[in-house]
Amino acid sequence: MMKKTYLGLLVFCLSFTLVEAQVEKSPVAPDYNKLQQIIDEAYKLFENDSAGAPADYIPELARVEPDLFGISVVTVDGRVFSAGHVEHCFSIQSISKVFTLAMVMEQLGQQAILEKLGAEPTGLPFNSVTAIEQQATRVGNPLVNAGAIATTSLLEGKSAAAKWKNILAFYSACAGEELELLKDIYESEAATNARNQAIARLLDAYGVMYDDPEKAVDVYTRQCSVGITTKQLAAMGATLAAGGINPFTGVEVMNAENIPQILSIMLSCGMYDYSGTWSYLTGLPAKSGVGGGIVAVVPGKGAIAAFSPRLDGAGNSIRAQKAIAYISQQLNINIFDPQSVGVE
């Protein structure tokens, strides 16, 4: 009798400790106080790093305050951890390519993406025309400009206006908040995007443009000009990490079956001609934009987003890269490390 009571007590204590441990455990970190501490450390470490320069081929981007720096982590269960200028709204730019890809993959299926757009890194700059001439699919992959404009041209919709409306609604559902167009950025880029127009026309000549090239470039320019904060960007990444379910609203916004393919393209092509080195250093699928944002996805756990306008030669934000790499290394998260993903 006594023995049974002791055993019962032991089981009770043990299960209480386990429940408590589970509650305290963040899906992206062993301990969420530690996670906040690591984010603060990353902010302090790179706060005064002024290497690189903001993009200037889009005049409005050259006017962004270069010292802005923000970091946010959103977990799949909707917890938010941040440091720095996380209220600042910047343009999503090329990170948008991932989410338009998700829409088109949902509409046309995975095989059509492979056949029409491809999944090969170009090894060349994001707006390369040489890559179009060299690659068998011409567009290379959906995360360089050629592939992204082709992706946007594939999107279902009666008109350019209808496509744009659907894009903004889908991005907002992924962020769990209403997003808006940054009008100044859009107008500035629309007035200076001759190169993207040339890319679209070249693709048209090769028979791989699926809408009027001018309209496709306009919708693409709008999607790049969507305003976003680091928290909203991390939420978009966390939606990918959570099998397509937005961690704030609980709404299933995309098909979970397509997410491994989307993340695979992010890993091989998301950081342009630096993607191989990025993968080697972090083992995390990520996407950058010339607005200074980067989001890295930790499948099943959450996402790390950072923003800083100064870029390297490939067009990737220098401080955002450093902050994300630091946080992921400190947390020991890397999809190729069996200790880090799926093992608690």
Annotated binding site for substrate: 94, 145, 189, 196, 220, 272, 290
Task: Tell me the closest approach of the beta carbon of residue 269 to ligand GLN, in angstroms.
Answer: 12
Q: Using CB under 6 A, pick the residue from 52, 140, 213, 289 that binds ligand GLN.
A: 289
Give me the least distance between CB of 109 and ligand GLN, in Å please: 26
CB of 127 to ligand GLN, least distance (A): 5
- The alpha carbon of 80 is separated from its chain's Cα centroid by a whole number of angstroms, namely 16
Nearest to 257 by CA among 271, 240, 277: 240
Cβ-based nearer residue to ligand GLN, 103 or 224: 224
Number of residues that bind ligand GLN (CB under 6 A): 11
Q: CB-wise, 224 or 298, nearer to ligand GLN?
A: 224
Using alpha carbons, list the distances in angstroms from residue 32 to 22, 44, 118: 12, 18, 39
- Helix axes of 230-241 and 160-175: crossing angle, nearest 10 degrees: 90
93 lies in the site for ligand GLN, by CB under 6 A: yes
Q: How far is the CB of 296 from ligand GLN (least distance, A)?
A: 16
CB-CB neighbours of 50 under 10 Å: 12
Rule CB under 6 A: say whether 128 interacts with ligand GLN.
no
**To the nearest whole angstrom, how small is the minimum distance from the Cβ of residue 275 to ligand GLN?**
13
Residue 288 Cβ vs ligand GLN, minimum distance, rounded to whole Å: 7
Residue 290 is a binding residue for ligand GLN (CB under 6 A): yes
Closest approach of ligand GLN to the CB of residue 189, in Å? 6
Q: Point out the residue whose Cβ comes nearest to ligand GLN.
A: 94
Binding mask of the shown chain, residues 60 to 89, with x at each position contacting ligand GLN by CB under 6 A: ------------------------------
127 binds ligand GLN (CB under 6 A): yes
336: helix, coil or strand?
coil
Under the binding rule (CB under 6 A), the answer on residue 292 touching ligand GLN is no
Q: How many residues does the chain have?
A: 344
> 302 or 315: whose CB is closer to ligand GLN?
315
Residue 71 or 224: which CB sits closer to ligand GLN? 224
Given CA atoms 100, 103, 104, 109 in this order, what sign does their dihedral have? positive
Residue 197: exposure state from Cβ atoms within 10 A (0-12, 13-18, ≥19): middle
Q: Looking at beta carbons only, is 221 or 328 nearer to ligand GLN?
A: 221
Three-class DSSP category at 7: helix
**Least CB distance to ligand GLN at residue 209 (A):** 16
Quote the CA–CA distance of 54 and 72 in Å, as a whole number.
Answer: 21
Eight-class DSSP state of 207: T
- How far is CA 62 from its chain centroid? 22
**What's at 205, amino acid-wise?**
A
Taking CB under 6 A as the criterion, the residue among 72, 82, 94, 321 binding ligand GLN is 94
Q: How many CB atoms lie within 10 A of CB 247?
A: 22
CB closer to ligand GLN out of 224 and 233: 224
Out of 137, 145, 188, 258, which residue is the one contacting ligand GLN (CB under 6 A)?
145
Of 100, 140, 87, the C-alpha closest to 116 is 140
Residue 196 contacts ligand GLN per CB under 6 A: yes
- Please, are residues 97 and 167 in contact by the beta-carbon 8 Å criterion? no
Binding-site residue numbers are 94, 145, 189, 196, 220, 272, 290
Residue ranges binding ligand GLN (CB under 6 A): 93-94, 126-127, 145, 189, 196, 224, 289-290, 315
